[in-house]
Structure 1
Amino acid sequence: MLSLRTIRKALVALAAAAAVGAGLTAVGPAATATAAVPTTIPLNFTNNSGRSDQIYIYDIGTLLSTGQQGWADASGTFHAWPAGGNPPTAAPDASITGPANGQTMTLRMPKFSGRVYFSYGQKLVFKLTTGGLVQPAVQNPSDPNVNILFNWTEYTLNDSGLWINSTQVDMFSAPYAVGVKNTSGTVKNTGHLKTGGYAGFFNALKGQPGGWANLIRTRSDGTILRALAPGHGIEAGALPSTVMDDYVNRVWTKYSTSTLTVTPFADQPAVKYYGRVSGNVMNFTNTSGAVVTSFQKPDSDSIFGCYKLLDAPNDLVRGPISRTLCAGYNRSTLLTNSSQPDTSSTGFYQDVVTNHYARKIHAQMADGKAYAFAFDDVGNYESLVNDSNPQTAYITLDPFS
């Protein structure tokens, strides 16, 4: 199953119509689009990978009109998953045979909130439990997909438009980019790496001391499959669970005697919250001095996953404060700027203790944008494109070299 942090990241990131700008916005998608969004739109899937492997594509998610979970075939026709079991039972084969290297095929995307998976050389294994679909868990060494080279994009297509992003929240793997063309012919895309960026990322991670190289997973034939996101690395025992502790301790010391000011909404500068540490708790007060929420001292996994001790509910107080803190911890800006969010990228990842996985991914992106952690959209650094009048969506598999 998708982790709660990944689900929440996808819903928040893909359902927000306005860019978060200097912070966050308090609004969701526009209530109406300027033109009706059709039931399905074309998805141009291009294979520029340079590899000869057979590509398999899967369009899975929740049908927004009914709330049913299932998959779409190449024509965009929805198929509901059958009931699962315990132990899990095999899911129907939802694969679509993808294009050869240098070729493009056109699929139809229905009004889903979901994912488009693609795999190289082998079909992915999906199973069904009584609770729904079991999706690949890259941090689990016994997962049946652990030796398959694959990746995915996340998208929402609804009456207000299309939101589609490239994501590295769970792993960095096979390179790809996403895009959208609207009915006026304007094209937006994101997710492309710099020339040499794929190898550049892995080489940089290999050279990072402190266990970060252990995030890399390689198949027995020498193929680099992926780098686990650091939260998954902690779960798999590849990265020390204390990797962020020194930074957190310094943050705790600083805000025991000074105040952290959080202005979570870019379009509401008067909404401010003030954080001070007392013992093991950081309390936030509003402008009237009332405590509105409190956070326990976070561990590394909470920081990397933006969950657990940094949980971010879909409200207008704790969630936005937590998103801001999550970005500040991952980018290590909380010590250098007591007014958050800090949205100047020149100050990101400058501390020796930081999310080096995220740092190295952003360094290799052609436009500097990525979803390297759940709330990488704070300050508009996410690899997301959206349009209220989508005509065509794009997924492009990029070269590995």
Structure 2
Amino acid sequence: PAPDAAIAGPANGQTKTIRMPKFSGRVYFSIGQKLVFKLTSGGLVQPAVQNPSDPNHDILFNWSEYTLNDGGLWINSTQVDMFSAPYAVGAKAPGGTVKNTGHLKAGGYNAVFSGLRSAGWGGLIQNRQDGTPLRALSPGHGIEAGGIPAGTMNDYINRVWNKYSSSTLTVTPFANEPNTKYYGRVSGNVMNFTNGSGAVVTSFQKPDSDSVFGCYKLLDAPNDTVRGPISRTLCAGFNRSTLLTNPNQPDANGAGFYRDAVTNHYSRLIHDRMADGKAYGFAFDDVGAHESLVHEANPQEAFMTLDPFN
């Protein structure tokens, strides 16, 4: 067992203030009972709700991710792993202005669950014994848990591969470097990207659905200046289903996201029910700044606001 670092939360309608160190990490909150954390020789064992035997499986909880350093505070509300107990994040500037994100529209919490059922993705939902939804798993975890088929995105992936066998996909990965472009063409099972000189800079095997949803494996994105940025852009295009409608990526027009019948319905529904349209529906939802993130260079306070479920 890990040392008990739990802090009793505020009562309904009240607040609690805690001091945070300069750090990068998570703040978990749970309702009704404490979360179970354990230690191994490799470090901290965090909740893994896609695992039905995880001791936290039947606990209603969520978490926020943050970094606080000399450059300020970055704090987000994340749905990369799951959609569950609603909350928003915010930060106060020295002048008193508060920036926040993550609030749902009225009725948005239940609308996400009902939307998943209507889309045929109800298998992502994990319920309490009384039938009350605890969470919806992200589709990558849903594949792992058997909630949606492993080939959910295959039709779209195949159509993308076919299109760029005879045409070129242009990726401009950095908004502040419009002249840095890479050109993708498919040959067999591989999409090769070349630079302006025609030299191959990186190649991608045809991804599977899990690679698309998780933005990893066959769409791995190392922290470099070429493969990682191209992979991030591909991942966003696959999840938002914009690769067939726009050969110039990333697509900046949010109105065109998630329009294909084969798409990431989980991310689509969460974005649609957010008050400001921002969410972290998948790992690289920050491509084009569509993520639910607040940054404040000189934060006076940070906020995690636990919202009503209705």
Q: How many residues align?
A: 310
Q: Distance in 2 between matches of 1:200 and 1:291?
A: 45
Query: Residues 67-103 of structure 1: CA distance to partner in whole angstroms, max 9, x if unpaired?
Result: xxxxxxxxxxxxxxxxxxxxxxx00111000111011
User: Post-superposition shift, 1:195?
Assistant: 0.5
Q: Secondary structure at the match of 1:301?
A: helix
Indicate yes or no: 2:149 matched with 1:231.
no
CA distance in 2, matches of 1:254, 1:346: 22
Tell me how far apart the structure 1 counterparts of residues 252 and 141 of structure 2 sit (CA, whole Å).
26
Query: What is the match of residue 366 of structure 1?
Result: 275
In structure 1, what is the Cα distance between the partners aligned to 2:182 and 2:131?
50
Q: How far apart, in 2, do the equivalents of 1:224 and 1:122 lie?
A: 17
1:317-396 alignment to 2 at 5 Å?
317-396=226-305
The corresponding residue for 1:206 is 117
- List gaps (5 residues or longer) in structure 1: 1-89
Query: Could you tell me which residue of structure 2 aligns to residue 35 of structure 1?
Result: none
Give the TM-score of the pair, scaled to structure 1.
Answer: 0.77
Q: Is the 8 A contact 1:156 1:163 kept in 2?
A: yes
Query: Is 1:280 the equivalent of 2:189?
Result: yes
Cα distance in 1 for partners of 2:212, 2:300 equals: 38
Among 137, 155, 168, the alignment partner of 2:79 is 168
Q: What whole-Å deviation, never above 9, does each CA across 1:186-231 have from its counterpart, x for those lacking one?
A: 210000000110011111111112xx11000001123210000000
Q: State the secondary structure of the residue aligned to 2:270.
A: helix
Question: 2:211 matched to 1:305?
Answer: no
* 1:100 aligns to 2:11 (yes or no): yes
What secondary structure, in the 3-state scheme, does the structure 1 residue paired with 2:267 have?
helix
Q: Distance in 2 between matches of 1:249 and 1:196?
A: 36
> Which stretch of structure 1 is more off in the superposition, 213-222 or 254-263?
213-222
- The equivalent of 2:307 in structure 1 is 398
SS in 2 for 1:109: coil
- The TM-score with structure 2 as length reference comes to 0.99
Aligned partners of 1:229 and 1:206: how far apart in 2?
A: 14
CA shift digits 1:144-187 (9 cap, x unpaired): 00000000000000011000000000000000000000112121
The answer on 1:255 being equivalent to 2:190 is: no
Secondary structure of the equivalent of 1:256? coil
User: Pairwise CA RMSD of aligned residues?
Assistant: 0.5
- Whether 1:218 and 2:113 are equivalent positions in the alignment is no
Structure 2: state its 5+ residue gaps.
Answer: none
Q: How far apart are 1:112 and its partner, in Å?
A: 1.2
SS at match of 2:90: strand
Instruction: Give me the whole-angstrom Cα distance separating, in 1, the residues matched to 2:131 and 2:11.
Output: 23
Residues 27-66 of structure 1 show CA distances to partners (whole Å, capped at 9, x for unaligned) of xxxxxxxxxxxxxxxxxxxxxxxxxxxxxxxxxxxxxxxx
Inter-partner Cα distance in structure 2 for 1:174 and 1:343: 30
Looking at structure 2, the residues matched to 95 and 153 of structure 1 have their Cα atoms a distance apart, in angstroms, of: 15
* CA–CA distance in structure 1, aligned partners of residues 296 and 95 of structure 2: 11
SS at match of 1:257: coil
Is 1:144 matched up with 2:144? no
Distance 2:96 2:197 in 1: 49
Amino acid in the other structure paired with 1:238: G
Query: Structure 1: how far apart are the matches of 2:192 and 2:118?
Result: 38
Match of 1:122 among 16, 24, 33: 33
Question: For the Cα contact (< 8 Å) 1:126–1:133, is it kept in 2?
Answer: yes
Structure 1 SS opposite 2:161: helix
Q: Percent identity?
A: 77
| Counterpart check, 1:113 vs 2:24 | yes
Q: Residues 46-65 of structure 1 correspond to what in structure 2 (within 5 A)?
A: none
Q: CA deviation at 1:328?
A: 0.1
Corresponding residue for residue 177 of structure 1: 88
SS at structure 2 position matched to 1:97:
coil
Tell me the secondary structure at the aligned position of residue 155 of structure 1.
Answer: strand
Runs of 4+ in structure 1 off by over 4 angstroms are none
Counterpart-to-counterpart distance in 2, 1:231 and 1:105 = 34
Does the aligned pair in 2 maintain the 1:343–1:378 contact within 8 Å? no
Q: Is the 8 A contact 1:297 1:309 kept in 2?
A: yes
Tell me which amino acid in the other structure corresponds to 1:165. Answer: N
